[in-house]
Amino acid sequence: MKKVERINIIMRYINNRAHFTISEIMHEFNISRSTAIRDIREIEAMGMPLVAEVGRDGGYFVMNNSVLPTVRFTDNELKALFIAFMATRNLQLPYLKSRHSLAEKLLGLISQNQQDDLVLLNQILLFEGTNPHNPDLLDLSDLPHPMLEQLIQILLEDRYLVASIEEGREIHTYPIYLMRLYREKSSWQIEGFSLEEGKRRIIPVDNLTDVKTYSGKRRISKKKIAEQLKKQEEAINLVIELGPKAIAQFKKYHPLKTTISYTNPYQTTAILKTFVNVHHPDELAEMTNWLLFLGGDIKIREIPKEVVEGLQGRIDVLGTSN
């Protein structure tokens, strides 16, 4: 890292902290004590109001109302921002209009040479969801569900919600505590705790017709919700070991509730433990397809017989088609 870039990052690092020490700067930026002291002195000379505390546990703190210089992006930071925009467009992400205006402002801040670099990147880098005939950074046309931004705005204030959901031709209303909002298979989902049913509920955002803050009296504390969910946890019935090729496939795609634990320091082997609801046909079929997607670099320790039967059926079909 160049000195100018390092000092700029150190300034922002210390400005966000009430107190810091030379040792912390040395560890965070992997620099020597003399370099850290020299950088701090240069930052002070630039006008940042630092106050030194004397003593064994002394350090520095930044005086209130300090003002940092105008934000300046390095070439690599600009490329990182630009590529992030490219990689996430057309994915039904929220705040699309704000992303559009942010991209325009970003392009307006940079030099012509930097703009030329980004234009070239835009021509040669293609990501999933990109139209190769119109790979324009500002062409963000895949709008998210109209309820998504409203939902995010409400849950930032209160995670106890009343969700109105279209089921069939009827609208049903559920008071829920929202645990997480996630996107899986190009669809946004709410994972919530039903305050009436006392259990976990998955709600597709596409089915939402309205959402508002829950004003009722049946607010269960987060601690009690966690306790109830723990009691309802399913027993693990699928345990597999993954080799490096299977780990690479896992990183490309895995169901939300599945996680792996690495079993060596080099992260080339791992173990996966999860529950498969064999009485839920869609989940059973999804898990069967996903295990085939992982490939042959796996060892099965424990597996439900229904999944084995599903795998055998898929293999038979593939063998017949060939």
Tens digit of each residue's pLDDT (9 = 90 or more) over 266-313 = 899 999 999 888 888 888 888 999 999 999 999 999 999 999 998 888
* pLDDT reported for residue 319: 65
146-231: CATH topology is SH3 type barrels. (2.30.30)
Beta bridge partners of 201: 192
* pLDDT reported for residue 181: 92
Give the least confident one: 52-56, 64-68, 240-244. Answer: 64-68
Buried b (16+ CB within 10 A) or exposed e, 152-170: eebbeeebbbbbebeeeee
Whether the per-residue pLDDT at 265 is higher than 50: the answer is yes
* pLDDT reported for residue 67: 54
* pLDDT reported for residue 140: 45
Kind plus residue range of the DSSP H or E element containing 39: helix 33-45
Provide mean pLDDT across the span 164-175.
89
Q: d(Cα 234, Cα 273) in Å, to the nearest integer?
A: 11
* pLDDT reported for residue 247: 95
Question: Is 72 or 159 the better-scoring residue by pLDDT?
Answer: 159
Structure-token match 């012509």, residue found: 112
3-62: CATH topology is Arc Repressor Mutant, subunit A (1.10.10)
Whether the per-residue pLDDT at 241 is higher than 70: the answer is yes
* pLDDT reported for residue 47: 73
Which one of 139-143, 234-238, 239-243 scores highest in mean pLDDT?
A: 239-243
* pLDDT reported for residue 290: 93
CB distance 283 to 277 below 8 Å: yes
Percent of the chain's residues with pLDDT above 90: 30
Q: d(Cα 169, Cα 152) in Å, to the nearest integer?
A: 26
CA separation, residue 11 to residues 2, 32, 42, 44, 81 (Å): 14, 17, 10, 10, 21
pLDDT band at 173 (very low <50, low <70, confident <90, very high): very high
pTM, entire model:
0.61
Q: How far from the centroid of its chain's Cα atoms is residue 36's Cα? A: 33
pLDDT band at 106 (very low <50, low <70, confident <90, very high): confident
CB distance 123 to 135 below 8 Å: yes
* pLDDT reported for residue 81: 87
Which tokens hold the place of 103? 């991209």
Percent of the chain's residues with pLDDT above 70: 89
pLDDT band at 138 (very low <50, low <70, confident <90, very high): very low
Tens digit of each residue's pLDDT (9 = 90 or more) over 95-105 = 877 877 787 77
Provide mean pLDDT across the span 184-213.
90
pLDDT band at 28 (very low <50, low <70, confident <90, very high): confident
Q: d(Cα 113, Cα 124) in Å, to the nearest integer?
A: 17
CB distance 36 to 73 below 8 Å: no
Average pLDDT, the chain: 84
- Could you tell me what percentage of the chain is helix, strand and coil, using 3-state DSSP and rounding each to the nearest 5? 45, 20, 35
* pLDDT reported for residue 177: 95
* pLDDT reported for residue 135: 61
For the range 220-229, what are the long-range contacts, defined as Cβ-Cβ under 8 Å and sequence gap of 24 or more? 220/177, 220/193, 220/195, 222/177, 225/177, 225/193, 228/193, 228/198, 228/199, 229/193, 229/200
Provide mean pLDDT across the span 317-322.
63
Amino acid identity of 80? A
The closest of 40, 39, 144 to 88, measured between CA atoms, is 144
Whether the per-residue pLDDT at 64 is higher than 70: the answer is no
Provide mean pLDDT across the span 128-145.
64
* pLDDT reported for residue 56: 55
